[in-house]
Structure 1
Amino acid sequence: MPMTKVNGVDINYELEGDGKETIVLINGLADDLTTWFGQMPDFLAAGYRVLRFDNRGIGKSGRPKGPYTTAQMAQDAKALVDSLGLKDFHLVGVSMGGMISQEYALAYQGDLRSLTLCCTYAAPGPFCSRMFKLWQDMAPVMGVPTVMRDVTLWAFTQDFFLNQEPTLKEFEAAMAAMDQPTEVYLSQLHAIQVHDTRSRLRNIKVPTLVLAGADDILIPMNLSEELHSLIPGASFATAKGGHAFLWEFPQPYNEAVLNFVGKHRR
């Protein structure tokens, strides 16, 4: 996979497809660009060129000393797309990636044709803040793979645990094999703990979709609804599944994203 240095950090990326329009994907906390395995076939088949990349602190990208912020990671994304000559694209972010995408839209919305914010929030609120503080306390003692095992319990639906045990074991094995050092995980975690765009979201004018998992218990529906209410003219939709709906139920997720993005093609 190609690598480029932006903002003093090596960023690993993959740019695929030969479509005239580009979708840029930004993944979540402790997730690398393979996050989008369930989306790539459909997005490419729909005729888009697709850019995905490892945020600073994960995958094959550099792991500079933190803590990080979502605005800082939005600057990384901007430097990457500029280095590739990409303009007038559709930005899709999931969870932490949705927070980074908010900061991107606030700073560089002239680059965007559309903005899709998935299972994310404008600010964490008391429930998520307590959950993230628990992860922060657990990671140095128990390790990042153990924290990610806990995240799995919040991310998938009960049906997944009851009826998709082979796939569940694959995810658990991947979590156990994570090589993200604790200090780097905490640097990314800090970004979602301090993220707060509530006072600025009224400045987003680009067509926006807030897409929530219908059964998300990690980022509760009220936070998605708050985010939607703060962006003028934004659309709101839900797709089947919980916080990990893009993995557990990729088809409904892909359809929701492509339906919205398709409305804003050139």
Structure 2
Amino acid sequence: MPTASVNGIEIDYLLEGEGERTVVLVNGLADEKETWAYQTPALLEAGYRVLTFDNRGVGATSKPAGPYTTELLADDTKALVDTLGITDFHLLGVSMGGMIVQEYALKHPADLRSLTLACTYAAPGPFCSRMFSMWEDLAPVMGVPFVMRDVTLWAFTLDFFRTREDELAEFETGMKHLNMPTPAYLAQLSAIQTHDTTARLPGLAVPTLVLAGDEDILIPTALSHDLHELVPGSRWETTRGGHGCVWEHPDDFNTTLLRFLTEIERTTP
């Protein structure tokens, strides 16, 4: 995979497709760029170029000492797209990625044709804060793969556990072999614990879709709706599934996303 030396680190990335317009996809906590395996083919088929990359702290990207912030991770993203010469693009982030792209859009709105905030929040609030505090305590003692076993329980719906045993086993195996040392995990975890754009989002001036899994219990759907209400003119949509709706029901997620992108392309010069 190619790498780019930006913002003091090496970022491992993949740029695919020949389309004139690019979609930049930003991962969640502890997720590598392969997270988007269910979205990239649909976007390529629709005629887009697609940029995926490993955030600071995970996969083949550098893992400097933390803690990290969502603003720092947004600065990494900005440095990468600038180095690759990508402009006037669609930006999508899921979970922690949704927090990172909020910071990006607030700092660099002129770069963007659209913004999609998926399964994310403006601030963690008392519920998520307590959950993340537990992960922070568990990771140094039990290791990151153990914490990711807990994340799996929160990410998928009951139906997924009942009917899709083979896929579940694949996800669990992938989490066992996650390329992320505990200090890097805690550095990323700090970013989602401290993220708070509540006071600034009313000034966001980018066409925005806020999209949530209708059964999300990890970042409750209500928190995503609170985010939607903070962003002027944003569109609110839900899709089948929980926090892992990008994997559990990718066709539904992709259809909703592509409908939004198509409307932006039709109405934006």
Is the TM-score greater than 0.5?
A: yes
Per-residue CA deviation, residues 40-65 of structure 1 (Å, 9 max, x unaligned), is 11100000000010000001000011
- Whole-Å Cα distance in 2 between the matches of residues 73 and 65 of structure 1? 13
Q: Deviations over 1:78-118 (max 9, x none)?
A: 00000011110000000000000000000001000000000
The residue aligned with 1:46 is 46
The alignment's TM-score, normalised by the length of structure 1, stands at 0.99
**Is the partner of 1:66 in helix, strand or coil?**
coil
Alignment-derived partner of residue 69 in structure 1: 69
Is structure 2 residue 8 aligned with structure 1 residue 12? no
Aligned partner of 1:250 in structure 2 is: 250
Aligned AA (2:84): L
Partner of 1:138: 138
Structure 2 unaligned regions, length at least 5: none
4+ aligned runs moved over 6 Å, structure 1: none
Deviations 1:146-190 (A, max 9, x none): 000000000000011000001101111111112311111000000
CA distance in 2, matches of 1:41, 1:221: 27
SS in 2 for 1:241: coil
Percent identity, aligned pairs only, is 61
Partner of residue 170, structure 1: 170
C-alpha distance in structure 2 between counterparts of 1:225 and 1:38, whole Å: 24
Aligned pair 1:184/2:187, yes or no? Answer: no
Task: Give the Å deviation of 1:222.
Answer: 1.4
Partner amino acid, structure 2, of 1:196: D
Count of residue correspondences: 266
Equivalents in 2 of 1:168, 1:199: separation in Å? 39
Aligned equivalents of 1:181, 1:90: Cα separation in 2: 31
| Deviations, residues 176-219 of structure 1 (Å, cap 9, x unaligned) | 11231111100000000000000000111110000000100000
Partner letter of residue 50 of structure 2?
V
The reply on whether 1:57 has 2:57 as its aligned counterpart is yes
| Partner SS for 1:115 | strand
Q: Deviations over 1:109-139 (max 9, x none)?
A: 1000000000000000000000000000000
Query: Aligned partner of 2:76: which letter?
Result: D
Partner SS state of residue 108, structure 2: helix
Counterpart in the other structure of 2:100 = 100
Matched, 1:241 2:241: yes
1:158 counterpart = 2:158:
yes
Amino acid at match of 2:72: Q
Q: CA deviation at 1:35?
A: 0.2
Cα distance in 2 for partners of 1:205, 1:66 equals 31
Unpaired segments ≥5 residues, structure 1? none
**Aligned pairs for 1:211-226 within 5 A:** 211-226=211-226
- Taking structure 2 as the reference length, the TM-score comes to 0.98
Say what the alpha-carbon RMSD is for the aligned residues.
Answer: 0.6
Distance 1:93 1:42 in 2: 16
- The match for 1:263 is 263
Q: Say which SS state the counterpart of residue 263 (structure 1) adopts.
A: helix
Structure 1: how far apart are the matches of 2:241 and 2:72?
30
Match of 2:93, SS state, is strand
Q: Which one-letter code corresponds to 2:197 in the other structure?
A: T
Cα distance in 1 between the residues matched to 2:65 and 2:200: 28
Residue 244 of structure 1 aligns with an amino acid whose one-letter code is: G
Q: Name the CA distance, whole Å, in 1 between partners of 2:138 and 2:27.
A: 23
